[in-house]
Amino acid sequence: MDELLRMLKLASQGFHCSQILVSMGLEAQGKQNADLVRCMEGLAGGVGFCGDICGALTGAACLLALYAGKGLPDEEEDPKLNLMIAELTEWFSQEFATCYGGIHCKEILDEDPRNQTVRCPGIVTKTYEQVKFLLCANGFELSEGR
């Protein structure tokens, strides 16, 4: 299924930006993890719908960590993880802060809930593309997890 259509389907099922991004990464790896997707809801809407940092950015950082983070006692975090997150954050700020006046949900939505259906799909799609770019550029296979 086309990635955009898959994202729209997840959104229509009530999932939020951070959940959609991690779901896409899990699906690329041929995995499902309802507990992880459920946890990602805490980042939605700018950390629990407080309007803080956009859940697409924080969810994307978590998605990078899904591929490069430490998950078991005998694992090591990939040294590229924090560099990828820093690149992601810089890209996100350049891409969206200029358009919307910041990277917080309250700035992006401009206090108009209708902006969620207008602005958020493009933000989530572009952010997912950037995550894939960063992973590939740093030697990670999208279909392989840790």
Q: Which tens digit of pLDDT belongs to each residue from 103-136? A: 988 888 887 777 777 788 889 999 999 999 999 9
* Side chain identity at residue 41, one-letter code: E
Q: Is 141 part of any domain? A: no
- What pTM does this model have? 0.92
Q: Which tens digit of pLDDT belongs to each residue from 84-100? A: 999 999 999 999 999 88
Report whether 78 contacts 85 (CB < 8 A).
Answer: no
Q: Is 45 part of any domain? A: yes
Q: What percent of the chain has pLDDT over 90?
A: 67
**Count of domains for the chain:** 1
Q: Is 78 part of any domain? A: yes
| Rounded Cα distance, 130 and 86, in Å | 12
3-state secondary structure of 143: coil
Task: Answer yes or no: is pLDDT of 76 > 80.
Answer: yes
Q: Is 144 part of any domain? A: no
What residues make up the domain containing 29?
3-7+15-136
Task: Answer yes or no: is pLDDT of 24 > 90.
Answer: yes
Closest to 103 in 3D by CA, of 112, 118, 121, 90: 90
| Rounded Cα distance, 73 and 41, in Å | 26
Q: Is 142 part of any domain? A: no
Task: Answer yes or no: is pLDDT of 1 > 70.
Answer: no
* Side chain identity at residue 51, one-letter code: G
Name the one residue in this structure whose structure tokens are 């999932």. Answer: 15
